[in-house]
């Protein structure tokens, strides 16, 4: 009986913890999608509960997200404006495929994604030569790695 009570208390505490963490750390839809599409989920098995896998400053100016967007975030927004019926995944892929360098730091956006630096912040860039990274990126599959999945959970 005491064991049962102990177990139900533990279960209750566990559920409460889950509810609290789910509420506090819930990530906006686009960020969740970008993390999976750009393979950042492979960095941490608990990525859904970690704010560190992809920071808000990937696309936003402020650490808390919201307006305004940085130059990379603005490129994504422009993609939506140009084609309002498109999906976020397609916009993200289109911007990366264009091989632009949103922040002008000398490293194209897709290469920064690959190197896990911020494509919208010139102060954040890979510390290795572009040619070397480009070769590694191409060998890994190039920008096609970041194509949106046809079906959710297909991999």
Residues of the shown chain interacting with Ca ion in the complex, contacts defined by CB under 5 A:
101, 103, 105, 107, 112
Taking each helix axis as running N to C, give the angle between helix 88-97 and helix 29-37, from 0 to 180 degrees, rounded to the nearest 10. Answer: 50
Which lies closer to Ca ion via its Cβ, residue 50 or residue 74?
A: 74
Neighbours of 60 (CB within 10 A): 19
Minimum distance of Ca ion from residue 57's CB (angstroms): 13
Report in angstroms how near the CB of residue 71 gets to Ca ion at its nearest. 9
Nearer to Ca ion, 53 or 95 (CB): 95
Shortest spacing between CB 104 and Ca ion, in angstroms:
7
Quick one: 27 or 75, whose CB is closer to Ca ion? Answer: 75
User: Rounded distance, CA 142 to CA 121, Å?
Assistant: 22
- Token reading at 111: 């290469």
Q: For the CB of residue 59, give the shortest distance to Ca ion in the complex, in Å.
A: 13
3-state secondary structure 49-91: HCCCCCCHHHCECCCCCCCCECHHHHHHHHHHHHCCCCCHHHH
Closer CB to Ca ion, residue 35 or residue 105? 105
């Amino acid at each position: 009986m005491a064991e049962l009570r102990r177990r139900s208390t533990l279960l209750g505490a566990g559920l409460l913890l889950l509810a609290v963490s789910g509420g506090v750390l819930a990530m906006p839809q686009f960020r969740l999608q970008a993390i999976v599409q750009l393979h950042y989920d492979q960095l941490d098995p608990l990525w859904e509960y970690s704010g560190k896998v992809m920071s808000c400053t990937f696309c936003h100016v402020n650490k808390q997200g919201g307006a305004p967007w940085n130059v990379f975030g603005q490129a994504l927004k422009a993609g939506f404006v140009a084609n309002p019926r498109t999906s976020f995944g397609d916009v993200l892929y289109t911007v990366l495929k264009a091989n632009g360098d949103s922040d002008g730091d000398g490293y194209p956006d897709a290469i920064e994604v690959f190197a896990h630096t911020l494509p919208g912040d010139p102060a954040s860039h890979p510390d290795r030569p572009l040619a070397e990274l480009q070769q590694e990126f191409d060998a890994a599959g190039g920008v096609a790695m970041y194509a949106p999945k046809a079906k959710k959970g297909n991999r």
